[in-house]
């Protein structure tokens, strides 16, 4: 046979357009294997897990790796498939191929390095948080630059990429020569990601009872793609469900309270009316939502010898303290959602970040409709996490970093101005409201307890030294704010609330770790509220009904929380975007995707222990979450503002 014929030029066993892509897949497998070994060593020891998990971790992990690298290489696959042979065999293309190969190697090494940084912060593969980081690039890039030596890191990656490229130069040369052959070998690289998109989900990574091992099994790139895709989860398609009417009937049963009356007999109408007992009070309210305020930071809850919150610890003795309160989620937006809307976490993305979240039944309208100046203060730019839109569409005026003048800023970092600066502006706005004859409802979200942990040099631990110093600074700023407020005429008529948005770290060995959701909440008003400890188990959704109860408001709402000063259940809603939990008594029921249901006991240290299934708690958990999700989708928490205004 003539060696110049097409048949001679294209031995099917050696020459194919997928040669270089297959080499990159092999390299990705090796990098991912090293990555899993590092994370396995890095993670805490597993409890209840077996060494037999290890083969599954790597085998299942390779399946996720294959899908992820096929997605990453999709542009290159399509290019190789569509280009004629003469282009792929040209001298110019061989140069382009080598550049492409070098760039992809760099991306793969950068990805694994970024994954380690993300793991250090969140003990997880990329998830919704990483998706948000890709959206809000300004804050994230500034944060990274302030937290890490980027020139050193990028230089190290460039050197590592160059060394790897040089070591593979001979294999690369061979595959470049083979790149103009058959198209058939490219088809699996298209079929695999297409099938995975429809038939695979992250739940396949559950190879162990240990959450860390399940996270290690995942592929970071796959998890990132999955988070983009699954930002809203249909409850009935993904979670164990009841007949919807049964679910609503069950929820209405636990919402029935002596002081509240349903406004209709429609089982899907969750609105209840609370009648004032002694007449509404006109107290001012300042709610300080503290970034990443774990209860464990306070010596009252976990005295480890490091005094991080001396002012809050002292304040707790003078306050109405809710010592068994739990955050509904692990993100700021989840805390904002629960505190303002009084709703348990719906699966998927927080309502704060969803479309059509305007004019919702929330605490902002309750105050605004009574003539209060209702304001939301945030030290960063409020477009982050959609906060500007959410609050401005739900009864609040937003005052963020963009509203501050240059002379109002003493210190700022990637996430915003320091807490002292925002508290100073809060005082100014409170004075302005009182001068205008209006009471005020101020919600302040702090920013300083966040990486890179930099702040004014006013506390013992120096700026940039870590989380403990940032907590210490926020505690100092809150104490200074309250000291300043005492000099204002409105102080004695004001209720101050301090509550965490979530814990500093929510990751544990299980999908939900109760102790990692424990946050403090205290009401401080020495002239108005008796100081005492309320040890009832509760969650952030109970904040709004409790505050409105203390003010004795006469109101109607669809809030699903309870007034913690009235008779009612002791329970807490705790969840993340794919796991929904109800903590009641000494039990925790967890609902997971693919309709999984788990029951655990909760010991005195808030750690999970094995327990027999409790059918009653399982039914209640399903009913609460299913009804809340269905009511939100059907507009059950939406307000008709014109009717509301006319009613008032």
Beta strands in 460-611 (DSSP E): 494-500, 518-524, 532-534, 538-539, 555-557, 571-575, 579-584, 587-592, 596-602, 608-610
For tokens 């399903």, name the residue: 622
Q: Residue 269, exposed/middle/buried by CB under 10 A (0-12, 13-18, 19+)?
A: middle
Quote the CA–CA distance of 157 and 150 in Å, as a whole number: 10
Quote the CA–CA distance of 354 and 345 in Å, as a whole number: 13
Task: For residue range 93-136, list pLDDT tens digits in order.
Answer: 888 888 999 999 999 999 899 888 888 776 778 876 666 666 55
Quote the CA–CA distance of 598 and 582 in Å, as a whole number: 11
Contact between 498 and 471 (Cβ < 8 Å): no
Q: Which residue has the higher pLDDT, 498 or 56?
A: 498
pLDDT reported for residue 13: 32
CA distances from 435 to 48, 373, 430, 492 (A): 62, 12, 9, 16
Q: Which residue has the higher pLDDT, 148 or 339?
A: 339
pLDDT reported for residue 3: 42
- Residue 194, preceding peptide bond in cis (omega within 30° of 0): no
Q: Is 342 left (phi over 0), alpha (psi -120 to 50) or beta?
A: left
CA quadruple 444, 450, 455, 461: dihedral sign: positive
Task: For residue range 525-582, list pLDDT tens digits in order.
Answer: 999 999 999 999 999 999 999 999 999 999 999 999 999 999 888 999 999 877 899 9
Indicate the angle between helix axes 91-122 and 19-42, nearest 10 degrees: 20
Q: For the stretch 163-172, what's the b/e string if a residue is b when 16 or more beta carbons lie within 10 angstroms of its beta carbon?
A: ebeeebeeeb
What is the H or E stretch that residue 368 is in?
helix 363-368
Q: Percentage of the chain surpassing pLDDT 70?
A: 88
Half-sphere exposure of 147 (CA within 13 A, CB side): 18
CA quadruple 157, 159, 163, 165: dihedral sign: positive
pLDDT of residue 645 exceeding 70, the answer is no
Enumerate the CATH 3.40.720.10 domain ranges in the chain, comma separated: 244-647
Query: Where does 244-647 sit in CATH, by number?
Result: 3.40.720.10
Quote the CA–CA distance of 358 and 635 in Å, as a whole number: 11
For tokens 């890490």, name the residue: 148
pLDDT reported for residue 123: 76
pLDDT reported for residue 128: 66
Contact between 289 and 325 (Cβ < 8 Å): no
Query: Taking Cα atoms as reference points, which of 579, 583, 621 lies closest to residue 128?
Result: 579
pLDDT of residue 363 exceeding 80, the answer is yes
| Cα-to-chain-centroid distance, residue 423 | 25
Contact between 386 and 338 (Cβ < 8 Å): no
For tokens 């971790």, name the residue: 57
Indicate the angle between helix axes 150-167 and 91-122, nearest 10 degrees: 130
Average of per-residue pLDDT across 158-167: 93
Task: For residue range 384-395, list pLDDT tens digits in order.
Answer: 889 999 999 999
Task: For residue range 454-483, list pLDDT tens digits in order.
Answer: 999 999 999 999 999 999 999 999 999 999
Token digits of residue 289: 């939502």
Q: Which residue has the higher pLDDT, 237 or 244?
A: 244
Rounded-to-10 torsion of CA 284, 293, 346, 387: 60
Contact between 419 and 377 (Cβ < 8 Å): no
The pTM of the full predicted model, rounded to 2 decimals, is: 0.77
CA distances from 176 to 11, 75, 181 (A): 15, 17, 11
Contact between 339 and 544 (Cβ < 8 Å): yes
Task: For residue range 405-425, list pLDDT tens digits in order.
Answer: 999 999 999 889 999 999 999
φ/ψ of 158, rounded to 5, equals: -65, -40
Secondary structure, 3-state, 281-332: CCCEEEEEEECCCCHHHCCCCCCCCCCCCHHHHHHHCCCEEEEEEECCCCCH
Token digits of residue 110: 């950068």
Average of per-residue pLDDT across 65-83: 89
């Amino acid at each position: 046979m003539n060696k110049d014929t097409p048949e001679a030029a294209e031995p099917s066993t050696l020459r194919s357009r997928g040669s270089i892509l297959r080499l990159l897949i092999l390299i990705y497998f090796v990098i991912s294997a090293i990555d899993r070994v590092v994370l396995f060593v890095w993670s805490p020891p597993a409890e209840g897990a077996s060494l037999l998990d290890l083969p599954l971790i790597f085998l299942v992990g390779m399946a996720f790796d294959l899908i992820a690298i096929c997605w990453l290489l999709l542009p290159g696959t399509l290019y190789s498939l569509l280009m004629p042979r003469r282009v792929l065999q040209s001298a110019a293309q061989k140069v382009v191929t080598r550049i492409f190969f070098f760039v992809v190697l760099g991306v793969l090494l950068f990805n694994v390095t970024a994954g380690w940084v993300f793991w250090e912060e969140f003990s997880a593969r990329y998830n919704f948080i990483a998706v948000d980081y890709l959206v809000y690039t300004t804050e994230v890039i500034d944060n990274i630059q302030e937290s890490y030596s980027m020139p050193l890191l990028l230089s190290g990656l460039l050197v590592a990429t160059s060394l790897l490229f040089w070591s593979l130069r001979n294999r690369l040369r061979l595959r470049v020569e083979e790149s103009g052959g058959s198209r058939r070998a490219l088809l699996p690289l298209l079929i695999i990601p297409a099938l995975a998109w429809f038939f695979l989900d992250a739940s396949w990574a559950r190879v162990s009872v240990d959450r860390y091992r399940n996270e290690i099994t995942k592929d970071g790139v796959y998890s990132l793609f999955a988070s983009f895709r699954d930002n809203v989860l249909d409850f009935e398609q993904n979670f164990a469900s009841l007949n919807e009417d049964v679910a609503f009937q069950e929820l209405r049963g636990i919402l029935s309270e002596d002081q509240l009356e349903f406004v209709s007999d429609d089982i899907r109408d969750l609105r209840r009316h609370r009648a004032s007992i002694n007449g509404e009070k006109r107290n001012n309210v300042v709610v300080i939502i503290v970034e990443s305020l774990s209860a464990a930071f306070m010596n009252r809850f976990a005295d480890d010898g490091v005094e991080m919150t001396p002012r809050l610890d002292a304040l707790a003795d003078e306050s109405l303290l809710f010592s068994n309160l739990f955050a509904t989620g692990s993100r700021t937006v989840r805390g904002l959602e629960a505190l303002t809307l009084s709703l348990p976490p719906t699966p998927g993305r927080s309502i704060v970040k969803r479309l059509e979240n305007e004019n919702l039944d929330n605490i902002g309208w309750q105050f605004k409709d009574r003539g209060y100046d209702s304001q939301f203060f945030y030290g960063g730019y409020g477009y982050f996490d959609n906060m500007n839109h959410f609050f401005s569409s739900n009864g609040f005026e937003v005052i963020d970093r963009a509203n501050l003048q240059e002379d109002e800023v003493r210190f700022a970092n990637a996430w915003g101005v320091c807490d002292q600066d925002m508290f100073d502006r809060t005082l100014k706005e409170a004075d302005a409201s009182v001068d205008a004859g209006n009471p005020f409802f101020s919600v302040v979200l702090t920013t300083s307890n966040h990486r890179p942990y930099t702040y004014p040099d006013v506390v013992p631990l120096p700026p940039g030294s870590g989380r403990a110093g940032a907590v210490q600074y926020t505690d100092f700023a809150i104490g200074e704010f309250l000291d300043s407020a005492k000099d204002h005429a409105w102080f004695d008529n004001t209720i101050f609330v301090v509550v965490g948005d979530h814990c500093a770290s929510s990751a544990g060995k299980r999908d939900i770790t109760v102790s990692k959701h424990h946050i403090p909440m205290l009401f401080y008003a020495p002239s108005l509220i008796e100081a005492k400890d309320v040890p009832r188990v509760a969650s952030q959704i109970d904040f709004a009904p409790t505050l409105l109860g203390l003010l004795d408001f006469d109101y109607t709402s669809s809030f699903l929380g309870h007034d913690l000063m009235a008779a009612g259940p002791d329970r807490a809603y705790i969840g993340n975007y794919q796991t929904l939990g109800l903590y009641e008594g000494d039990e925790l029921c967890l609902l997971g995707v693919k309709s999984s249901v788990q029951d655990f006991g909760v010991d005195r240290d808030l750690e999970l222990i094995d327990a027999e299934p409790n059918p009653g708690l399982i039914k209640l958990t399903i009913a609460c979450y299913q009804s809340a999700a269905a009511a939100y989708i059907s507009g059950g928490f939406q307000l008709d503002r014109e009717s509301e205004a006319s009613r008032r």
